Structure 1
């Protein structure tokens, strides 16, 4: 990962201004510190992943210049109002769980087709007005998954009669609510390759060709991808650590094999795309 990831987990950081941030950094992890304010990130234009979970933050601010940001984790802080998300056009995953939120007005700035937010975690907050929730989420066109209740930690609105039915009926773009689909079936936790720090530069190749998988043999043999392997190995090492903020929890053993198979297929497809690019260069 080199100088593209900076991880200072549980390092007694008390101010973001004390963090020497290289402009080329794409992933910044400051989980479990004592940071009270989001500041000093104006020049971090390339930042794609920001984890400020388990700090002392009470206000969402200082993010307007982070137009490349894809994932933002502000869970386990002291936030009351959702705000300061203006301009985060590439944000796909937002975790605001375990705060004191009762005002979602800032999500109104993520309405419209130019915004890409797909996953929103809000469990363990103080949301008590279902109409306010629906108004703030309805215009987020790409939104697919919302979590308002998890592991017994929920919001007051989750205890309202017909809560699930109301949310699904009012937000037609939603396919997963609290880890369950429309029929109430559990949906396995999935980590998109686009959200794995360091791999997003490579997976863009997955969408550059419509060529079928049957052409893989034309490559003349297996393609080695040491850089991709390095990134995946680093990510899985982090995710396997229970103390790390990227740790994947609550994945039933029965789903492990399908998830691994799906990841393998995506990597094979990526290798195929790389092979095609090599062929184009030589021929």
Structure 2
């Protein structure tokens, strides 16, 4: 059996292990999906009438606001799910199972591969659920099939990036509690960006941060693809941010995973 075959076999085994963990702890998955759903319902039905009327040049209320905030809620969904990834990685590192794996003849990166692919699958399911709820509360995309595929590609790219960030957070954490807190600022980025209000309504300092942080170009690209608004250079920035975060966090996670366990 070739080394590539061993790698695929062991990675598949670790993926199956992580999927079974999701099945054993459905409450965590439901909680991670439930939070963005609650936020979506809260903002659309409580604030939607006022906020929708306040969007510059847009006449209307809740339906317009549902269209506007859905990309931001999708980013919150991604950030919430990957928080669970950091917890799972930290549990492996602190409960001794990684030390056991290191004594076995398995493809060494398979453990992290299982976490990453499993989290991608879990995030995709969460995004489908949240998108379905958004459609029920008034989200009305005008995208063509090609634009939907492009939007899915953008979501997959940023998801892959923040998953590697969460894996590194899980590896660097000494406790599960720490791992659950480190990725939490990701949930705030859509609020401190164009997720819920246009950035030009913000004070200068907050506006500067909102316009140059990673999630804003992703949300603007999603709006352009799904709703036909202007994209400008947001797509290029979204892809660039995704690549930079992925490479940096992958190298960080690999260094942490390969370090001497006795140190």
Q: Point out the structure with the larger helix share.
A: 2
| TM-based fold match above 0.5 | no
Given the two structures, how large is their TM-score scaled by the length of structure 2? 0.33
